[in-house]
């Protein structure tokens, strides 16, 4: 671990992996492995520090990962839902950011607009972490790649297939991180749920620079040879009104055992960011079965989030 290089990450916000080089993402990833390996060592690396945790949307993993990772290192996390603070209601996001920046060492934001997390970073003067917006879920993507590497070693050249709503925050974040790290990344989705063309074109170029391919297809046979098959809910938070439309579009794209068998590999792993709707995007047989690594992946949220905060924040 090059601790000198790690120091260059001090003070940075994580809004999307588009803002980081491949080398920087690799540093976060390798540091996450170190943080996980040292998980039983009691350290107090956030002693005397404070973290504002802003939530417009619900969360289990992200909230618990940030809160436990920060608290067990001696820091003081403060949970603030939109029922608790003025954010965007009685006070502008700019003004909220200015005030939080005076009181907290760092800010986590989960909510709707990517522009909100950007404004918090621009006006607070503190590192800001994107804990999920409609567009990106970058801390999730780091845990996903860590889980891939725990199973197969260096992720470069491996094949990860995302199947489902290809335009959602999780698929888009995987698209970015995979292209930067040289992972061959395929999205299997109906045409109506393909990722947006602009991001796709950009990530295609980035992937090529790193010797990898980005592919989008509606054909289930695209899973052939996959190291990992990944899915997410058909209806993301904030899109509840689209439920019927999504079920009709995505029912042929359920991850079940026959889909897993199409990889023609016994060692293909199954990934899911969770929470899962068993019986919709994935069957219980697959997510609770031997190929699933969804629970390791959930645990890895904590170590990657701790590593991100340690690299950007701790003294």
Query: 3-state class of 136 per DSSP?
Result: coil
- Chain centre to alpha carbon of residue 191: 23
203 is catalytic: no
178 is catalytic: no
Taking CA atoms, 218 is separated from 10, 141, 165, 286, in Å, by 42, 23, 11, 21
The two structure tokens encoding residue 58: 């619900």
273 is catalytic: yes
Torsion sign (Cα): 115, 116, 118, 122: positive
Quick one: what does residue 60 bind among ligand NVA, ligand CP, none, with the CB cut-off 5 to 8 Å set by partner type? ligand CP
Nearer to ligand CP, 133 or 184 (CB): 133
Quick one: what does residue 168 bind among ligand CP, ligand NVA, none, with the CB cut-off 5 to 8 Å set by partner type? ligand NVA
Nearest-5° angle of CA 247, CA 252, CA 258?
130
137 is catalytic: yes
If binding means CB under 6 A, how many residues of this protein chain bind ligand NVA?
9
Shortest distance (Å) from residue 219 CB to ligand CP? 27
The reply on whether position 274 binds ligand CP by CB under 6 A is yes
Query: 3-state class of 66 per DSSP?
Result: helix
| Among the listed residues 235, 253, 231, 236, the one whose alpha carbon sits nearest the alpha carbon of residue 297 | 231
Shortest distance (Å) from residue 193 CB to ligand NVA? 12
Q: Which stretch binds ligand CP (CB under 6 A): 14-22, 46-54, 56-64, 305-313?
A: 56-64
Residues 13, 32, 49, 59: which binds ligand CP (CB under 6 A)? 59
Residues 16, 96, 133, 140: which binds ligand CP (CB under 6 A)? 140
Quick one: what does residue 212 bind among ligand NVA, ligand CP, none, with the CB cut-off 5 to 8 Å set by partner type? none
Got the DSSP string for 164-218? Answer: S-TTSHHHHHHHHHHHHHT-EEEEE--GGGPPPHHHHHHHHHHHHHTT--EEEES
Nearest-5° angle of CA 254, CA 273, CA 111?
115
Residues 61, 159, 262, 302: which binds ligand CP (CB under 6 A)? 61
- Phi and psi (nearest 5°) for 270? -105, 130
Shortest distance (Å) from residue 20 CB to ligand CP? 20
The reply on whether position 60 binds ligand CP by CB under 6 A is yes
CB-based contact 80:88 (threshold 8 Å): no
Nearer to ligand CP, 82 or 86 (CB): 82
Return the DSSP state at 193.
G
Q: Which stretch binds ligand CP (CB under 6 A): 58-66, 93-101, 195-203, 253-261?
A: 58-66
| Among the listed residues 127, 163, 179, 93, the one whose alpha carbon sits nearest the alpha carbon of residue 15 | 127
Question: Distance (Å, rounded) from C-alpha 110 to C-alpha 116?
Answer: 9
Shortest distance (Å) from residue 32 CB to ligand CP? 16
Shortest distance (Å) from residue 146 CB to ligand NVA? 16
* Binding to ligand CP, residues 223-252 (CB under 6 A): none
Shortest distance (Å) from residue 284 CB to ligand NVA? 19
Q: Which stretch binds ligand CP (CB under 6 A): 16-24, 54-62, 154-162, 244-252?
A: 54-62
Residues 141, 170, 249, 311: which binds ligand NVA (CB under 6 A)? 170
Nearest-5° angle of CA 243, CA 293, CA 196?
45
CB-based contact 106:308 (threshold 8 Å): no
Q: Would you tell me which residues interact with ligand NVA (CB under 6 A)? A: 132, 168-170, 232-233, 236-237, 273
Catalytically active residues, by annotation: 110, 137, 140, 232, 273, 301
């Amino acid at each position: 671990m090059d601790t000198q290089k790690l120091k260059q990450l001090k003070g940075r916000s994580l809004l999307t992996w588009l803002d980081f080089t491949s080398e920087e993402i690799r540093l976060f990833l390798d540091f996450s492995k170190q943080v996980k390996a040292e998980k039983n060592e009691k350290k107090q690396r956030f002693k005397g520090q404070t973290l504002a945790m802003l939530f417009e949307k619900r969360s289990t993993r992200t909230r618990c990962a940030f809160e436990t990772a920060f608290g067990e290192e001696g820091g003081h996390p403060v949970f603030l839902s939109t029922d608790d603070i003025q954010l965007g209601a009685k006070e502008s996001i700019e003004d909220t950011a200015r005030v939080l920046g005076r009181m907290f060492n760092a800010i986590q934001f989960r909510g709707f607009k990517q522009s909100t997390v950007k404004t918090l970073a621009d006006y607070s003067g503190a590192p800001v972490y994107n804990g999920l917006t409609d567009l990106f879920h970058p801390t999730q993507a780091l845990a996903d790649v860590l889980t891939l590497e725990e199973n197969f070693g260096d992720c470069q050249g491996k094949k990860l297939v995302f199947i489902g709503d290809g335009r959602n925050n999780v698929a888009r974040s995987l698209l970015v991180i995979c292209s930067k790290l040289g992972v061959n990344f395929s999205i299997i989705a109906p045409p109506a749920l393909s990722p947006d063309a602009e991001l796709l074109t950009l990530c295609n170029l980035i992937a090529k620079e790193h010797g990898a391919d980005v592919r989008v297809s509606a054909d289930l046979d695209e899973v052939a040879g996959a190291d990992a098959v990944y899915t997410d809910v058909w209806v993301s938070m904030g899109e509840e009104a689209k439920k019927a439309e999504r079920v009709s579009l995505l029912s042929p794209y359920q991850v079940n055992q026959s889909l897993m068998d199409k990889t023609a590999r016994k060692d293909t792993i199954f990934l899911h960011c969770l929470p899962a709707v068993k019986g919709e995007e994935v069957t219980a047989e697959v997510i609770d079965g031997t190929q699933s690594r969804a629970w390791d992946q959930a645990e890895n949220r904590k170590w990657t989030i701790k590593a991100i905060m340690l690299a950007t924040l701790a003294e």
